Structure 1
Amino acid sequence: MTQTALVVSGLLILLLGSGVWIGLGLMATGGIGLLIFKSTPVAALLGQLSWNSATVAELSSLPLFVLMAEILFRTRIAASIFDALAPWTTWLPGRLAHVNVAASTIFAAVSGSSAATAATIGRITLPELARRGYSQSLTMGSLAGAGTLGFLIPPSIVMIVYSVLAQVSLLDMFMAGIIPGLVLAILLSLTIVIMTLIKPELLPKEKETFTWAHRFSALKKLAPVVILVGTIIGSMMTGIATPSEAAAVGVIGAILIAMAMRDITFAGFRQALMGTVFTSSMIGLIVIGAGFLSTSMGYLGVPRAVAEAIAPLNLGPVGLIMLLLLVYLVLGCFLDGISTIVMTLPMVLPLVVGAGYDPIWFGIFLIVTVEMAQITPPVGFNLFVIQGLTNTSTMQVAKAAFPFFLAMLVFAGLIVAAPGIVMWLPRLGN
């Protein structure tokens, strides 16, 4: 059985490493494994599982949330968020650098994507903070870390994929991400405080001042996005709407915001629709491939073989999680987040559940490790995004992001030590 696991894992690495589309690589790995080791009718199984995976109710919210983000990406909403938050951060050690964290936290609630959050907020904050004399390493690093919140704060595309693959409630996943997302945002801001207290030269010498009238007046610019986020999250948490219904409301809200800002054109709306088709098709193919691979591995006994291989290590539950954290950090250096999840979940989830962990909790833990992978070289998507915005090297961005990587590592340990941070809201809802 161990030989089967090694063959399947090697085949998967070979296919994905050769540049084959992720979804097709997953399907091919499962199909070839069944043809070699079993007499299962691959074509019939693939057809049935493809239909089952593509018609999961939770998946219907995916294209709607993607469309909402695509529309807002083409508006001036990020500029409005910056203008509203800037007057409120000047009293903190680190001053306007905190806008990267606060703005990313807010925009994450309407984007669902880490790279989109970093790109949208960075287009506004990076040149503006550079103009005001803030250290480039501080602004790049804080944006790299805060941009990852797009994965953790609902509605998150990665959460939707995980809930489908792990067969857990999407609403519970969304609720589980709210408190961890806010706690992580606080830790990232605390990192800025510590860095700027140690090195005051990271900040400009002249300190901007704002009147209270200016501060409260600026908050009006947050109203559209706050109302949109409150409607989406509130309707789901109160049971008024399902995730799919809330996503539909989000699309309508995004269109209204774009129209009110006079940012929407027919060409722009068409681009948003095409972007939604491309992204949703890519993720849909990955979900189908992952579902087929998961079932194939079950037939082949791969999860059991992995469990038998780990058993002699005599790891306790915490030891297992620490081992998985190390594995995911290594994988994150070479693979994107969704690829990492779909590759490993069929083997890892049974081990984690067997060790007594809730699959909802593990989903959040896994997303945190994926967030860390977004800012680790050589394949950290947030690093590439910020590199493109600043014309610096990937390693310069990675060096700037390292303190925020450490903050996320501390946060991973925190939710292991205190799982209630993740599970309080889902349990309250149930």
Structure 2
Amino acid sequence: MLALAIVVLLLVLILIRVPVSFAILGAGIIGLFAVGGFGVVDGVMQTVPATSVMSYSLSAVPLFILMAHLLMLSGLLDSLFDAARAIVGRIRGGTAVASIGAGTAFASVSGSSTAAAATLAQTSTLKMIDEGYSPRTASGLVAVVGTLAAMIPPSIILVFYAITAEVSVGDVLIAGALPGVIIACALVVMLYVTMLRDPATVPSGQPSTWAEKGRALGTAAPLALVFLAVVGSIYMGWATPTEAAALGSVAALVLVIARGRFSLAGVGHTLVETTKSTAMIFAIIIGAHVFGHFLTETKVTPTLVAWIGDLTLPAFVIMLCIGIVYVVLGFFMDQIAIIALTVPVVLPLVVELGYDPIWFGVFMVLLAEVGLVTPPMGLNVFVVARSAGRRVEEVFRGAFPYVIAMLAVALLFLIFPGIVLWIPETM
């Protein structure tokens, strides 16, 4: 009962908009005090905050964030949409398909879903509306495409999951590559399904010359080299994720200098934003470890595993229920907070059911990301609405068909887990 009361307290704190890291830490401290008094709290707080963030693998997080901010400073990310549009712009709905392609490419050099959504909203959303696309379709599609940054490596969310689950960071990162591409393809399919229902929402294509294609691809080519340097070095085993992140940051800095975008003010802003994002993530990690100690004291995890193990339901049905819980949690909570709070409890159960922890990381991140484009939180939706000057309700409605596509892909991964594990098994 004590564990349930503390979990309810945590949810209340989050719902009244207490910062997630403080909510988790506060609930954990109160729970520890209820279990063992001040002595237990004092012992945990003397050791856990420092040891929880002293992992070598965690150093990849600020480096990947820094790489993404430097690439945005270079101005190259704006060229992704032009390059994709030059390739597929001729076909009907080509500009929308180009938005999905640009979002996929952006995800391969940036681990931030909200940054991806904001960048695409300022470029592709307005362009699609100008060409005659329904504003609801254009804005909703871009909001959902932004979520690909949480799946395609280098993903900060997947790095955080790997560290929390104590599995190989490299394997988890690589595991997200193929699912990310499959999700992008599902979004394209859903785009044309919506076009069949209402052809007026998707206009005809805008052709480009071969010279325009060549110029656009040439401009975006350096980003492909950064992606290959980072992900390729991890896949081939030439570098650890931390080393690959450092390599990517150096490559991004070179691009900033080569394009004449280097300035002390710009780099200073990049470092400040990187520090703020890293501090937020590390604060959640500290709070989650304190809360985890409380759960350990109350023996919640073994009790839950034993209870589920006594059920007569098939493993598939139990995993389906767990998936629904993650979708609901995504409506109200930050994705990193969801991982920090649930993985230590749920992962032993998932392994007991016979599922691979690397597969589970991809599966749960996909479901948690649905919360970025669904009410009431819907952070990507608010970002796109502000950047593109559209109403929030309009963007939510436009995103709904693509949320269905994401959930369908999640179900596919649940039925065929080997899809997610195929590339990691070839490493």
User: So what's the TM-score if we normalise by structure 2?
Assistant: 0.95
Which range moved further: 104-113 or 310-319? 310-319
- Within 1, Cα distance between the matches of 2:70 and 2:46? 34
What is the DSSP-based 3-state SS (H/G/I as helix, E as strand, rest coil) of the residue aligned with 2:324? Answer: helix
Alignment of 1:331-410 (within 5 A): 331-410=329-408
**In structure 2, what is the equivalent of residue 183 of structure 1?**
182
Residue 45 of structure 1 pairs with residue 44 of structure 2: yes
Asked if 2 retains the 8 angstrom alpha-carbon contact of 1:377 and 1:395, the reply is no
Residues 89 and 98 of structure 2 are in contact (CA less than 8 Å); yes or no, is this contact kept in structure 1? no
- Match of 1:110, SS? coil
Deviation, structure 1 residue 406: 0.4
- Note if 1:81 corresponds to 2:80: yes
Deviation per CA, 1:357-403: give whole Å up to 9, x if none: 11111110110011211110110111111110222222211100011
- Comparing 74-83 with 156-165, greater Cα deviation is found at 74-83
Distance in 2 between residues matched to 1:245 and 1:130, nearest whole Å: 41
Aligned match of 2:417: 419
User: Greater CA deviation, 296-305 or 355-364?
Assistant: 296-305
Q: Is the 8 A contact 1:336 1:380 kept in 2?
A: no
Equivalent residue, structure 2, for 1:69: 68
The code of the aligned residue for 1:189 comes to V
Cα distance change of structure 1 residues 313 and 94 upon mapping to structure 2, 3 Å threshold: farther
Counterpart-to-counterpart distance in 2, 1:218 and 1:257: 17
Alignment-derived partner of residue 111 in structure 1: 110
Deviation at 1:313, TM superposition (A): 5.1
Spell out, residue by residue over 1:202-252, the C-alpha distance to the aligned partner (whole angstroms, 9 max, x if none). Answer: 2335x4222334323431112110011111111111111111111111111
Q: Which moved more, 1:221-230 or 1:344-353?
A: 344-353
In the alignment, which residue of structure 1 is the partner of 2:12? Answer: 14
Q: Which one-letter code corresponds to 1:182 in the other structure? A: V
| Alignment-derived partner of residue 170 in structure 2 | 171
Mapped to 2, the partners of 1:98 and 1:227 lie a distance apart of: 23
TM-score scaled to structure 1, two decimals?
0.94
**More displaced, 190-199 or 62-71?**
190-199
- Aligned partner of 2:197 in structure 1 is 198
CA distance in 1, matches of 2:91, 2:43: 61
15 and 134 in structure 1: CA distance in 2 versus 1, 3 angstrom threshold:
closer
Q: Whole-Å Cα distance in 2 between the matches of residues 122 and 257 of structure 1?
A: 23
Contact 2:95 2:206 in 1 (8 A): no
Gaps of 5+ in 1: none
Corresponding residue for 1:159? 158
In structure 2, distance between residues paired with 1:16 and 1:133: 40
Contact 2:74 2:261 in 1 (8 A): yes
SS in 2 for 1:148: helix
Question: Whole-Å Cα distance in 2 between the matches of residues 393 and 312 of structure 1?
Answer: 49
1:222 maps to: 220
The CA distance in 1 between the partners of 2:131 and 2:3, in whole Å, is 55
Q: Identify which of 281, 284, 302 aligns with 1:283.
A: 281
Residue 268 of structure 1 is matched in structure 2 by: 266
Q: Deviations over 1:273-315 (max 9, x none)?
A: 0001111011011112112222321221112333455456533
Query: Which amino acid in 1 is paired with 2:177?
Result: I
Q: Give the match's secondary structure for 2:333.
A: coil
Q: Is this contact kept in 2: 1:90–1:208, CA < 8 A?
A: yes
Mean Cα deviation higher: 319-328 or 91-100: 91-100
Q: Which secondary structure does the structure 1 equivalent of 2:46 belong to?
A: helix
Q: Shift of residue 134 of structure 1?
A: 2.0
Q: 2:229 aligns with which of 209, 228, 231?
A: 231
Q: Give me the whole-angstrom Cα distance separating, in 1, the residues matched to 2:237 and 2:228.
A: 14
Contact 1:54 1:284 in 2 (8 A): yes
CA contact (8 A) 2:68 2:109 kept: yes
1:58/1:212 CA distance change after superposition, 3 Å: same
Give the paired residue count. 426
Tell me what 1:32 maps to. Answer: 30
- Give 3-state SS (helix, strand or coil) of 1:77's partner: coil
Displacement, 1:25? Answer: 2.5
Shift in Å, 1:27: 2.5
Secondary structure of 2:176's counterpart equals helix
Distance 1:382 1:256, change over 3 A: same
Post-superposition shift, 1:140? Answer: 1.1
**Contact 1:364–1:422 (CA<8 Å) still a contact in 2?**
yes
CA displacement at 1:30 relative to structure 2 = 2.4
User: Structure 1, residues 320-347: CA drift from partner, whole Å, max 9, x if none?
Assistant: 1111121122222222211222222232
Give the Cα–Cα distance (whole angstroms) in 2 for the partners of residues 244 and 398 of structure 1: 36
Q: Report if aligned partners of 1:137, 1:397 keep a CA contact under 8 Å in 2.
A: yes
8 Å contact kept, 1:329–1:369 = yes
1: CA distance between counterparts of 2:371 and 2:13? 21
Structure-2 residue corresponding to 1:240: 238
Matched residue type, 2:64: F
Partners of 2:236 and 2:331 lie apart in 1 by 39
How much does 1:136 deviate? 1.3
1:124 aligns with 2:123: yes
- Quick one: distance in 1 between partners of 2:221 and 2:190? 28
Question: What runs of 5+ residues in structure 2 fail to find an aligned partner?
Answer: none
C-alpha displacement at 1:46, in angstroms?
2.9
Q: Displacement of 1:185 after TM fit?
A: 0.8
Q: Could you say what secondary structure the match of 1:54 adopts?
A: coil
**Counterpart selection for 1:209 from 192, 207, 210:** 207
Q: How far apart in 2 are the matches of 1:56 and 1:144? A: 33
